[in-house]
Amino acid sequence: MVYDDIKTFYQSYKQRKCVIGHSFYGREIYAMHVGEHTGKQFISVYAVHAREWVTSYLALKHIKLGCSFGGWVIPLLNPDGAIISQTSKPLWKANGRGVDLNCNFDADWGLGKLNVKRRGAENCIGDYPFSEPETIALKNFTLKINPVVTLSWHTKGEEIYWLFSGRGDIKGAKILSTATGYPHKIIYGSAGGYKDWCLQKLQIPSYTVECGSDKLKHPIKKLYKLKKCYNALKIFTLEYGKMKKYEK
Ligand SMILES: [Zn+2]
């Protein structure tokens, strides 16, 4: 199970690390630090959606390859959901109690085209913004770290999103695009995501990478299907770090 693998990796991790909170069913949500301890920091989050748990292994790849400036990798935001996807309901996207975490952030909450109030496998917004322990944990950790940029790794479709409610910085999207070979795109009709909240409320650049070909079926089980993204965090931090504007 992915949760056990991430937990084992975390326990043997020798750098800075912490538990940022717990899932609805009490599982730990881990964060591991990579790169420089001082100066600007990023946050990079994986497996927000349950069936996209393969991205947790991408996170470990990113940690091993290292970064040019410092930041925090959160490999598995949704451990309860990942277990549901790996055991009984492969296509499950939501958390353990049926709320889609990427619809639960306070950014035009509930206004997404596919949003529903009824709990289930996907698209449920929750009772109010930040109603879920997983989104609260990521919110509080983000406010504490005060990152200069955030990245979210999803599957699938080979696209990069960077804009929400008129905010966004295309420069980072171009770097990610070069690093992965994926085009950057503007999408409409989604709301309440982590990227959306970072852009709208924190006013920091934030990016979503949809890893893996759209032809693949969820859940993607082989990490090598995401190989175009292996070097993406390393390259991103290298190129993004060069941009003087974000020097702290
Ligand atoms: Zn997703």
Count the alpha carbons within 13 Å of 101 in the hemisphere toward its beta carbon: 35
pLDDT at 77 over 80: yes
- The domain ranges of the chain are 2-243
Residues 78-135 have pLDDT tens digits of 999 999 999 999 999 999 999 999 999 999 999 999 999 999 999 999 999 999 999 9
Q: Which two tokens stand for residue 51?
A: 């069936």
Distance separating alpha carbons of residues 233 and 57, to the nearest angstrom: 13
pLDDT value, residue 243? 81
pLDDT at 246 over 80: no
Architecture of domain 2-243: 3-Layer(aba) Sandwich (3.40)
- Nearest alpha-carbon partner for 243 in 37, 70, 40: 40
What is the value of pTM for the model shown?
0.97
pLDDT at 73 over 60: yes
pLDDT average, residue stretch 72-78 = 98
Cα 248 to averaged position of ligand 1 atoms, centre (Å): 31
Cα 244 to averaged position of ligand 1 atoms, centre (Å): 31
- Nearest alpha-carbon partner for 154 in 98, 101, 106: 101
Is residue 209 within 8 A of residue 172, CB to CB? The reply is: no
* C-alpha pair distances (Å), 212 with each of 72, 131, 198, 221, 224: 23, 30, 24, 11, 9
Cα 247 to averaged position of ligand 1 atoms, centre (Å): 30
Cα 49 to averaged position of ligand 1 atoms, centre (Å): 5
The dihedral formed by the CA atoms of 104, 142, 3 and 11, expressed in degrees to the nearest 10? -170
Distance separating alpha carbons of residues 114 and 49, to the nearest angstrom: 15
Radius of gyration of the chain (CA): 16
Residues 13-66 have pLDDT tens digits of 999 999 999 999 999 999 999 999 999 999 999 999 999 999 999 999 999 999
pLDDT value, residue 248? 46
Is residue 205 within 8 A of residue 162, CB to CB? The reply is: yes
Cα 219 to averaged position of ligand 1 atoms, centre (Å): 11
pLDDT average, residue stretch 235-245 = 86
What is the longest distance spanned by two Cα atoms in the chain? 48
Residues 201-231 have pLDDT tens digits of 999 999 999 999 999 999 999 999 999 999 9
DSSP assignment, residue 38? S
- Nearest alpha-carbon partner for 81 in 127, 44, 46, 48: 48
pLDDT at 247 over 60: no
Which residue is it, tokens 């049926």? 98
Residues 131-165 have pLDDT tens digits of 999 999 999 999 999 999 999 999 999 999 999 99
Cα 154 to averaged position of ligand 1 atoms, centre (Å): 4
Cα 162 to averaged position of ligand 1 atoms, centre (Å): 15
- Give percent of the chain above pLDDT 70: 98
